[in-house]
Structure 1
Amino acid sequence: MSIGSDSKETGAEAFAGALRDAINAKRMTLSRLQEKLRARGNRVSLATLSYWRSGARRPEGAQSLAAVADLEDLLDLDRGFLTKHLGPTNRTGPLGPIQFPIDEQAIERAVRDAYAALGAPYPDMSREVTTHSVTDVDADGNVAYCITRSIVQSTSGTITATPFLELTPGVDTPPPLISAVSGGRITQRYSHPNGEVHGVLFEFDTPVTAPNTTVVEWSIEYPPGYPTMRETGHAVARQCRELLVWTRFHPDALPDWCEERIETPTGTTVAEVTLDGGTSVHQVRRAFGPGAIELTWGYGPRE
């Protein structure tokens, strides 16, 4: 966002002035600021912070813009205070490779069919910068409800919508109820004949031009009588700055065992996870993708 048509400062200069004032008001050194950013998973170099403060460079790309959001928090500024001083940019930052996140060729073909039916280009021209997915498990131990919030970035041109899909490889299911919670509306729905891919086209409140972002939120409900679902997760086709999958169990249905499965182009890892006396499991990865984070659970002896 530019600071106004009557300003003679460039985005870098205006941002630098606002950042300097905030750092001076907080009486914080750049070294201390870098340490606090690093603790949040933002590995911005001391030199980069110095360039930003002097106006020699300006934040560019999704990773840097995420660091700016953390700077606003660390310096006790209103959300968007520093960002509003940045002028327009044509950079998206490093995108990394794009790849179908799971090793299932039949499912990828079905996903391509879904994109075509929804009128969306494949691969998608957006990426998830940050995604938090929260799943609730009912008293029978099955997935009942999932809500997901994402910061979505356009990687090329202007996008007005993006598909969100529910995949159940190897399991034929009826379509769950996918709803728009905030940030847009659902304009189309699709279910593949194999019953393993269901999805919607989520239209944003306003178009998004690269490298800008928007925040969207959608939910999935699994109605009574839905096939047993004791697995949840989230997959991304491009690298995501932060991916969180939080599974919350009903107090009367705490599992006897849980297993985490992480699938990336370099391979698949499987590990046992525990609730540690609580009622939930959270899985978080930074700079993750392409790939998928999954959690499965069960009751009684493990098969």
Structure 2
Amino acid sequence: MDVSGASRLGQALQGARLSEPRTVRPSRVLPPDLLDALRNGPFETALDSALRASGLSLERIRHRLAERGVQISVTTLSYWRRGRSRPERPHSRQAVRLLEELLGVPTDGLVSLLGPRRPRGRWVNRDAAVLKTERLWREFESLPDLLAELDSTDDGLLRVAAHDHYELDARGAGARLTTRLTLKAARDGVDRCVVVLHGEDPDTALPEFADVRNARLGRLRSDNSVPLTVAELFLDRTLSEGGTTLIEYTLRFPETGRRAEECGRGFLSPALLYTLEVAFHPDAVPVRCWRSHRAAAVWRSVSAEPVWISAAGRAHTVFENPGPGFQSLHWEWH
């Protein structure tokens, strides 16, 4: 499934699974932010919260791991904490289990957030599922029912790459979104792509499909109280496992929409590349812009980096190997 988005747009969906942390007697009362991070992830947020709650320095952690026979550098611990790398090798995962003990985290509290090991090698083999739709869209209770009306919660497509080009009007509201997706079939007999569109204002109509290429528009199901719409796009041909296709669609937004403050896309399993462009109108250019990542559609960001807005009023960012979670651009008006 795919979800394209701004605060009022949708975000990309793919079927996946994340195991729940097992609660084994914690050795101490954990602070609320750490408990929340252990429940919802991602791994780097939970590790950072556990380290801060422990009061231990990375050097002290390194020393205690070494006493247990596990050699992990301070740099590696810092990279794990900031999400720049993940514990993948058996040696590294052994260190994470010791970290749970040293930091007073319930058994498997951190390990379970890592999900299955990522296969090594070409991206075509990176189809491990790591996040459930319900976690990514935890605030939208009607979404499972809308998906069920289309007879599927998994369209069988992996998002290899995505490119979103979002245009705003002179009021700062969304005008058009053009999306290009590179898709790969995870099984035989895949014949459609499922798209979810989310709007933040129930009083404003959702965007409409103005153009679809290499596919045709099928059924639409909506919950106007959110508002939320699920659409199916039938592919030009049925794909066998490993088969690829490219599709493109353009969404046109109503002229009554309110000012947008975000545009982005969510991923449930790893992709190769996500490129996001935003074109502001010359009469409505924000004062600053930044990129961020968060674990769910309605959730706090776990990282933020400034993004340059050009003299022409354009901003863009490239996310390499995105997912799971939401990657987005945010901006602030005068």
TM-score (norm 2): 0.57
Q: Within 2, Cα distance between the matches of 1:180 and 1:128? A: 20
In structure 2, the residue matched to 1:111 is 143
In structure 2, the residue matched to 1:16 is none
Q: Secondary structure in 1 aligned to 2:139?
A: helix
Give the C-alpha shift of residue 133 in structure 1: 0.6
Amino acid at match of 1:294: S
Q: Within 2, Cα distance between the matches of 1:134 and 1:219? A: 9
Q: Secondary structure in 2 aligned to 1:250?
A: coil
In structure 1, the residue matched to 2:268 is 237
- Whether contact under 8 Å (2:164, 2:178) holds in the other structure is yes
Q: Secondary structure in 1 aligned to 2:145?
A: helix
Q: Secondary structure in 1 aligned to 2:125?
A: coil
- Say yes or no: does 1:143 pair with 2:177: no
Query: Which deviations, in whole Å up to 9, do the C-alpha atoms of 1:230-249 show, x marking residues without a partner?
Result: 32111122211001111111
In structure 2, the residue matched to 1:254 is 285
Q: Which runs of 5+ in 2 are unaligned?
A: 1-118
Give the C-alpha shift of residue 100 in structure 1: 4.4
Give the C-alpha shift of residue 288 in structure 1: 1.0
From 307, 314, 317, the equivalent of 1:280 is 314
Query: Which deviations, in whole Å up to 9, do the C-alpha atoms of 1:25-51 show, x marking residues without a partner?
Result: xxxxxxxxxxxxxxxxxxxxxxxxxxx
Indicate the percent of aligned positions where both proteins have the same amino acid. Answer: 19
Give the C-alpha shift of residue 154 in structure 1: 0.9
- Whether contact under 8 Å (1:166, 1:199) holds in the other structure is yes
- Say yes or no: does 1:297 pair with 2:331: yes
In structure 2, the residue matched to 1:89 is none
Q: Secondary structure in 2 aligned to 1:122?
A: coil
- Say yes or no: does 1:210 pair with 2:241: yes
Q: Counting strand residues as a fraction of each chain, which structure ranks higher?
A: 1
Q: Secondary structure in 1 aligned to 2:126?
A: coil
Query: Which deviations, in whole Å up to 9, do the C-alpha atoms of 1:57-92 show, x marking residues without a partner?
Result: xxxx9x84x7xxxxxxxxxxxxxxxxxxxxxxxxx5
Give the C-alpha shift of residue 134 in structure 1: 0.4
Structure 1 stretches of 4+ with a deviation exceeding 6 A read none
- Whether contact under 8 Å (2:136, 2:325) holds in the other structure is no
- Whether contact under 8 Å (1:151, 1:215) holds in the other structure is yes
From 158, 165, 172, the equivalent of 1:134 is 165
Q: Within 2, Cα distance between the matches of 1:199 and 1:145? A: 18
- Whether contact under 8 Å (1:127, 1:155) holds in the other structure is yes
For residues 28-39 of structure 1, the aligned pairs below 5 Å read: none
For residues 29-68 of structure 1, the aligned pairs below 5 Å read: 64=122
Q: Which runs of 5+ in 1 are unaligned?
A: 1-60, 67-91
Give the C-alpha shift of residue 273 in structure 1: 2.8
From 64, 72, 95, the equivalent of 2:127 is 95
Query: Which deviations, in whole Å up to 9, do the C-alpha atoms of 1:90-118 show, x marking residues without a partner?
Result: xx5231224247654132x3332221122
Aligned-residue Cα RMSD (Å) equals: 2.6
Distance change >3 Å, CA 103–CA 183, structure 1 → 2: closer
Q: Which moved more, 1:269-278 or 1:246-255?
A: 269-278
From 251, 269, 275, the equivalent of 2:303 is 269
Higher-RCO chain (CA-CA 8 Å, sequence separation at least 6): 2
- Whether contact under 8 Å (2:126, 2:270) holds in the other structure is no
Amino acid at match of 1:151: T
Give the C-alpha shift of residue 291 in structure 1: 1.7
Amino acid at match of 2:143: V
Amino acid at match of 1:114: L
Q: Within 1, Cα distance between the matches of 2:153 and 2:264? A: 22
Distance change >3 Å, CA 271–CA 94, structure 1 → 2: closer
- Whether contact under 8 Å (1:264, 1:289) holds in the other structure is no
In structure 1, the residue matched to 2:226 is 195
Give the C-alpha shift of residue 143 in structure 1: 1.3
Aligned residues: 211
Amino acid at match of 1:268: V
Distance change >3 Å, CA 256–CA 141, structure 1 → 2: same
Amino acid at match of 1:115: L
Q: Within 2, Cα distance between the matches of 1:129 and 1:299? A: 33
- Whether contact under 8 Å (1:143, 1:230) holds in the other structure is no
Q: Within 1, Cα distance between the matches of 2:190 and 2:148? A: 16
Give the C-alpha shift of residue 130 in structure 1: 0.8
